[in-house]
Amino acid sequence: MDDSVLETIGSPLVRVDSPPGTTVAAKLESHNPGGSAKDRPARYMVEAAEADGLLEPGDAIVEPTSGNTGVGLALVGAATGYDVTLVMPASKSEERRRVMKAYGADIELVEGSIEDAKEHADELEADGMVQLRQFENEANPRSHYETTAEELLDQLEGRTPDALVAGVGTGGTVTGIGRRLREAFPAMDVVAVEPERSAVLSGGPVEADEFQGMGPGFLSPNLDVDLLDGVFTVGIGEAEAECRRIAREEGVLVGQSGGASNLRARDVARAFAAGEDPGYGDVTAAGWEPRPDAGESGADPLVLTVFPDSGERYMSTGLFD
């Protein structure tokens, strides 16, 4: 028996349909109690703020969030006794708002992007709330370093992964998992996935905010670009088509970023199996250089990816219609 719902945080690693001669395996983060990968940083950020004396009983938490971090914080706030206010762009899905409210959180909607939500959260912070700042807070990538990656090391059962391919929002997921796995597997590639129309890492345009949770439109301080071997972009249409395919053909219900990541994870696995260079795009951040062995793999390549949340969180958007 667990003492708290927070102790149930964790997820399975599942082999998904993989190109011949390869294994693509995904962390099904919808299995976390709040339904996404964000339960992990939510718990870690609250615990770090308590340890640093920034958060005390009776305090209220505020965070700008496009959704899943809000759900995670609402859950952790309910489980630990803090009031939580979440500031989110009005364009994000209705399910998320309802779930946050179900956990007792207050929601403030702002017109515009996550940048506008950040501004409003700063105002509430100035009025006395405690802001956890998922884009800067080191506890965010650390949560993935200490939990997601440690679970993976166990779940790999001795196999050596050739690449990690993961979507980037705050960068906490790819940075935390990438750092820990790179320690264990120095030759492993770490590859970011970002929206085609919010392609900051690829040096592309920032013209649309189409993916929930991915592509914030700026270079997140929590993304360690030096870990990356390269970056891929994905269009919203192909990502959503992949969500429908995985659900119907494999029985795995994932959100947009999971569909996007799976597409590129399969591309990488296919290239490895054919002995071809997967063709990672360069990261445009200052000082970034590809590692010499980027794009190489062993026999029977294994590519890891992350499905950050469930397709259920997107029903009202018509994704599966």
Ligand X SMILES: Cc1ncc(COP(=O)(O)O)c(C=O)c1O
Least separation in angstroms between residue 300's CB and ligand X is: 28
Positions in 109-168 near ligand X (CB under 6 A): 167-168
Nearer to ligand X, 22 or 170 (CB): 170
Q: How far apart are CA 146 and CA 176, in angstroms?
A: 8
Positions in 282-321 near ligand X (CB under 6 A): 308-309
Residues in contact with ligand X, shown as a per-residue x/- string from 46 to 85 under the rule CB under 6 A? ---------------------xxx----------------
Least separation in angstroms between residue 205's CB and ligand X is: 20
Burial bucket for residue 320 (CB in 10 Å: 0-12, 13-18, 19+): middle
Nearer to ligand X, 33 or 171 (CB): 171
> Strands (DSSP E) along the chain, which ranges?
13-16, 23-28, 60-64, 83-89, 106-110, 130-131, 163-167, 189-195, 230-234, 302-307
What count of other Cβ atoms lies within 10 Å of the Cβ of residue 205?
11
Quickly list DSSP for 84-144: EEEEEETTS-HHHHHHHHHTT-EEEEESS-HHHHHHHHHHHHHTTPEE--TTT-THHHHHI
Nearer to ligand X, 11 or 36 (CB): 36
With tokens 């690449």, the residue in question is 163
> Interface with ligand X includes 173 (CB under 6 A)?
yes
With tokens 């998992």, the residue in question is 177
> Interface with ligand X includes 178 (CB under 6 A)?
no
- For ligand X, the binding residue among 33, 255, 278, 301 (CB under 6 A) is 255
Q: Give every CB contact of residue 78 below 8 A, 6+ residues apart in sequence.
A: 84, 103, 104, 105
Least separation in angstroms between residue 41's CB and ligand X is: 7
- For ligand X, the binding residue among 18, 22, 202, 257 (CB under 6 A) is 257
Out of 30, 143, 257, 297, pick the active-site residue. 257
Q: Is the distance from CB of 240 to CB of 285 less than 8 angstroms? A: no
* Cα 120 to Cα 104, 109, 126, 223, 256, distances in angstroms: 20, 10, 10, 23, 26
Nearer to ligand X, 63 or 267 (CB): 63
Out of 38, 66, 113, 198, pick the active-site residue. 38
Specify the stretch interacting with ligand X by CB under 6 A; choose among 75-83, 120-128, 148-156, 171-179: 171-179
* Cα 142 to Cα 193, 257, 303, distances in angstroms: 20, 21, 22
Q: Is the distance from CB of 245 to CB of 253 less than 8 angstroms? A: no
Least separation in angstroms between residue 92's CB and ligand X is: 10
With tokens 């390269």, the residue in question is 230
Least separation in angstroms between residue 178's CB and ligand X is: 11
Q: Is the distance from CB of 47 to CB of 298 less than 8 angstroms? A: no
Nearer to ligand X, 24 or 168 (CB): 168
**Is position 38 annotated as part of the catalytic site?**
yes
Residues in contact with ligand X, shown as a per-residue x/- string from 195 to 224 under the rule CB under 6 A? -----------------xxx----------
Nearer to ligand X, 61 or 214 (CB): 214
Q: What is the dihedral of CA 161, 269, 147, 8, to 10 degrees?
A: -130
Determine the size of the site formed for ligand X (CB under 6 A): 19
Residues in contact with ligand X, shown as a per-residue x/- string from 14 to 53 under the rule CB under 6 A? ----------------------x-x---------------
Q: Which single residue brings its beta carbon nearest to ligand X? A: 213
Active site residues: 38, 257
**Interface with ligand X (CB under 6 A):** 36, 38, 67-69, 167-173, 212-214, 255, 257, 308-309
